[in-house]
Structure 1
Amino acid sequence: MVKIGPIELPDFPLLLAPMEDVSDPPFRAVCKEQGADMMYTEFISTEGLIRDAIKSRQKLDIFDYERPIGIQIFGGDEEAMALSARIVDATQPDLIDINYGCPVKKVVCKGAGAGILRDVPKMIKLTEAVVKSTSLPVTVKTRLGWDHENRNIEEVAERLQDVGIQALSIHGRTRVQMYKGEADWTLIEKVKNNQRIKIPIFGNGDIDTPQKALEYKNKYGVDGVMIGRAAIGYPWIFREIKHFVKTGEMLAPPTVEERIDICTRHLTRSVEWKGSKLGILEMRRHYASYLKGLPNVKEYRMKLVNSDNLEELLEILENLKEAQLQLI
């Protein structure tokens, strides 16, 4: 069992990474159904929360079936981080996570996300401000460091633990790498094996198959893994990893019918939560992943990304399913 404060997770838990414009409630719902053990909201700007920005407030929406779930915040101002922690506390998630890993320029240039990796003392002050402002467990997601010459994650992990965080997720790349190159898990292993580190350490980066998840579990000794891009359009990766870790055997992949049914359910939930216009628009980024590898699918995919009518979209998906089943 892995514990984060009062939260009890199974051995080697699988975490759904927080992803901007992806990890919304409709997406989290399908990942939870397929075995994600813990999930996080999209990251939320502390400035937006304080200004009462509608988009930031909407990201606070969480549901009981998602638990345990963490709300992730980011920012570069100590007072704003503390106040945001109190706002988040009132919505009663299971934990608060701080994003010190986002490499996007518009976040970094504000001294937030991975931008804070250039100023570790400030990172520690921001973290301490959040810890002192909430009764919830506080966790952190970060990277190995700013660039290859400044991969200081071992020092950062110790100092974050010292100010009270209760788990640490580490993406095995630097900020300069963005999402390029191969994630380096050797430093994640060093953090995990550090005698001073007592909190759970979760690894993130390049986990896209059950075989790799088990290999990294055994090779690097992490307490669990965080999965991001590999779950987009393929939430079944969670159940496949769990089955492989438990039995050493690959689970049969989802059927064509199941793939299209889950895609349909995701679409319906997206419209229910965001409204018709935005729900349909933001679902478009998911179709290519859900339908990847299916034969003769291009025509249907084009129709899906060009339609703005829910009934028409549901009909297209149903017609696609019938066409695919005839090919089997």
Structure 2
Amino acid sequence: MSVKIGNNIDLGAFPLLLAPMEDVSDPPFRYVCKQNGVDMMYTEFISSEGLIRHAAKSKQKLDIFEYERPIGIQIFGSDIKSMEEATEIATLAKPDLIDINYGCPVKNVACRGAGASLLQDIDKMVAMTNAVVNATHLPVTVKTRLGWDDHTKNIYEVAERLQDIGIQALSIHGRTRSQMYKGSADWSLIKKVKKNPRIHIPIFGNGDVDSVEKAAAWRLEYEVDGIMIGRASIGYPWIFREIKHFFETGTYLDGPTIKERVDVCKTHFVKSIEWKGEKTGIFEMRRHYANYFKGIPNFKEYRMKLVSLDKVPDINEVLDEIAFQFADVTTDV
């Protein structure tokens, strides 16, 4: 049985999704994840207010490419009318779906009435979602959390009410807003939502999946329709191919060699410059180096070089040196 969103998005038997992550899941990063087998991706979340005011940063986040499909544009906001208008703008960018962020816990989002804040006002969340559904011909999906805090874990009600007004899939992060990213994700409530006989849309689990073992165990234990992976893919897009290989064969795939790490890092770097321009591309790539080469002993000197250089040939030279110097090193991530 394939997992389907709406009538036209077929994600296969058990899809792996790339979570939308601010300042991470931009087109260059999505490119290397797609190369490693991710089934569906989302843009970074985009402010509805930014879109309707034509803010350059918000508009740039609408950039999607044919090879990324299926891909969703994720929007967030606190005003229903603004979300409706932003949906119309996002639809013109021709994604495969529109996703609403009701999960972001950070202060400057949640404390302004957007993101996870809507978990405190389910009626408004339902009204906002209804407005988005009616503003586009595309499938609408939602990403959210278990609730605002331990006393208001209302995801069961949220799932039913949002499905009733037309969302086509729901991704659930197994933490409350008050937890932020601390503690362990609790997938037991995600399973409860999935097992609800009223729920017929796909339910995707998110939170703490950082290994082949967890993906395989939680697929069976929590019976979700697919898994969404975020932080574990940063600097390690190979996690998607490793999990898929295990699902298909029951055997473990060897981790990437140092040469593979360098090659993928270089690809990410090239795409970063192509999309953002040389100056910004070089600067924003700096946040990724430590993750690409995590676990390599005595790496600090090279990392310091990579984050200080500002010329493409110089950075490529250091990357080539890393491939040569650490050719025989194996790492466990």
Normalising TM by the smaller chain, what interval?
over 0.9
2:31 equivalent among 29, 32, 57: 29
Measured after TM superposition, the shift of residue 109 of structure 1 is 1.5
Q: Deviations over 1:166-195 (max 9, x none)?
A: 000000000000000000000000000000
Q: 2:119 aligns to what?
A: 117
Q: Distance in 2 between matches of 1:115 and 1:326?
A: 49
In 2, the alpha carbon distance for the partners of 1:234 and 1:325 equals: 18
Contact kept in structure 2, 1:100 and 1:117, CA below 8 Å: yes
Q: Which residue in 2 is equivalent to 1:157?
A: 159
**Residues 192-211 of structure 1: matches in 2 within 5 Å?**
192-211=194-213
Larger mean Cα displacement after TM superposition, 73-82 or 168-177: 73-82
TM-score by length of 1: 0.99
TM-score, structure 2 as length reference:
0.97
Match status 1:4 vs 2:5: yes
Residue number in structure 1 paired with 2:84? 82
Structure 2 counterparts to residues 1-328 of structure 1, below 5 A: 1-5=2-6, 6-325=8-327
Q: Residue by residue, what CA displacement relative to the aligned partner does 1:200-226 show, whole Å, maximum 9, x if unpaired?
A: 000000000011001010000000000
Q: Secondary structure at the match of 2:288?
A: helix
Alpha-carbon distance in structure 1 between the residues aligned to 2:227 and 2:170: 11
Cα offset, 1:227, TM superposition: 0.2
**Distance in 2, Cα, partners of 1:208 & 1:106:** 27
Question: How far did residue 327 of structure 1 move?
Answer: 5.8
Separation of aligned partners in 2, 1:260 and 1:324: 10
Q: CA deviation at 1:269?
A: 0.8
Q: Secondary structure at the match of 2:178?
A: coil
Shift of 1:295: 2.8
AA matched with 1:126: M
Q: Which piece of structure 1 moves more, 226-235 or 108-117? A: 108-117
CA distance in 2, matches of 1:211, 1:242: 12
Structure 2 distance, partners of 1:193, 1:24, is 34
In structure 2, how many angstroms separate the alpha carbons of the residues matched to 1:49 and 1:124? 22
Contact 2:26-2:44 within 8 A present in 1 as well:
yes
The answer as to whether partners of 1:145 and 1:174 remain within 8 angstroms in 2 is yes
AA at the equivalent of 1:143:
R
**Cα deviations by residue, 1:27-83 (Å, 9 ceiling, x for unpaired):** 000000001000000000000000000000000000000000000000011111111
Does the CA-based 8 Å contact 1:211-1:244 persist in structure 2?
A: no
Q: Could you tell me how far apart the structure 2 residues matched to 1:123 and 1:281 are?
A: 37
Question: 2:296, 2:329 within 8 Å by CA — same for their partners in 1?
Answer: no
- State how many pairs are aligned: 328
1:277 alignment partner AA: K
Equivalent residue letter for 1:118: Q
Q: Secondary structure at the match of 1:285?
A: coil
Write the deviation string for residues 14-38 of structure 1: whole angstroms up to 9, x where unpaired: 0000000000000000000001000
Asked if 1 retains the 8 angstrom alpha-carbon contact of 2:83 and 2:132, the reply is: yes
CA RMSD for the aligned pairs?
Answer: 0.9
**Superimposed CA distance per residue, residues 222-252 of structure 1 (whole angstroms, 9 cap, x where no aligned partner):** 0000000000000000000001112221111
Unaligned runs of 5+ in 1: none
